Amino acid sequence: MIDFSKPPKFDTPQNGPTLNDVSQSARLEVTSEAVFFQKIYLWMCGALLVTALTGFALANSVAWLNAVRSTGFVIAIIVAQLGLVIAISFLSKSANPALLKLLFLIYSASVGCTVSLILKFYPSAVVIKAFVSASAVYGALAVYGLVTKRSLQSLGSFSFMGLVGLVVIFIINSGSPLLHFIFCLGGVLVFSLLTAYDHQKLRVIHYEGFKDNDDESRKVIIGALELYLDFINIFIFLIRLLGGRD
């Protein structure tokens, strides 16, 4: 279990560190962490680009729009997306990093299938407003998760309970505007909290170190997937909230 209370540790000489020793260790640690997050964000942004390109391409495809009229086809897409996430999580500790990268890109393309419907059926103004709002919310919570000295471990448990609540609301909602509003607002809140939690968790993972380069690469992909899911879900819940559709 990840211990959020442990600060990063630096190796020092037995006779005590000098100011230069501490400063150099701190600089190296900050640089290493920055590189780690740079890799994560490159993969996250790459996945978002794949999602956007897939969404725009399918939104203009008559054949695709006719295909998604079938309930069975839509269910198959949802099952495939869940299967890919489960597969990536299951393989996260031992698989070849190249396989995880491939699965991540395939998953991001599959999410583009969902985004294509958003681009087709929601006004452009709503999509743009939701994207800008999602970017602002995500950015603010990401920064908070990276700089706060407080442990955010409790947010993980709270967010999990929130996810369960969202599933319950989704199942029982029979078209109630109030439940739809609570569902969308709750979704934005849950994934906003997860954004802060996941960023701090990734800092802790970096401080704990890696077994080898493959281990680091696997954790980069898993981290990118988690942050990608945080942003995508904030974006989709905001679109449903601002667009006022079920």
| Residue owning tokens 């493959």 | 214
Q: pLDDT at position 10, please? A: 38
Residue 46 three-state SS? helix
Residue 210 above 60 pLDDT?
yes
Burial state string for 133-170 with b = 16 or more CB within 10 A and e = fewer than 16 = bbeebbeebbebbeeeeeebbebbebbeebbeebeebe
Residue 246 above 70 pLDDT?
no
Residue 80 above 70 pLDDT?
yes
Q: pLDDT at position 28, please? A: 55
By C-alpha distance, which of 109, 144, 121, 123 is closest to 232? 109
Q: How confident is the model at residue 141 (pLDDT cuts 50, 70, 90)?
A: very high
Q: How confident is the model at residue 88 (pLDDT cuts 50, 70, 90)?
A: very high
pLDDT in tens, 118-134: 888 899 999 999 999 99
Residue 55 above 90 pLDDT?
yes
Q: pLDDT at position 68, please? A: 86
| Residue owning tokens 């700089």 | 147
Cα–Cα–Cα angle for 116, 112, 169, rounded to 5 degrees: 80
Q: How confident is the model at residue 83 (pLDDT cuts 50, 70, 90)?
A: very high
Residue 94 above 70 pLDDT?
yes
Q: How confident is the model at residue 219 (pLDDT cuts 50, 70, 90)?
A: very high
Q: pLDDT at position 174, please? A: 72
Residue 26 above 70 pLDDT?
no
Residue 25 above 80 pLDDT?
no
Q: 148 or 170: which carries more pLDDT confidence? A: 148
Q: 19 or 30: which carries more pLDDT confidence? A: 30
Give mean pLDDT, residues 17-35: 61
Residue 4 above 60 pLDDT?
no
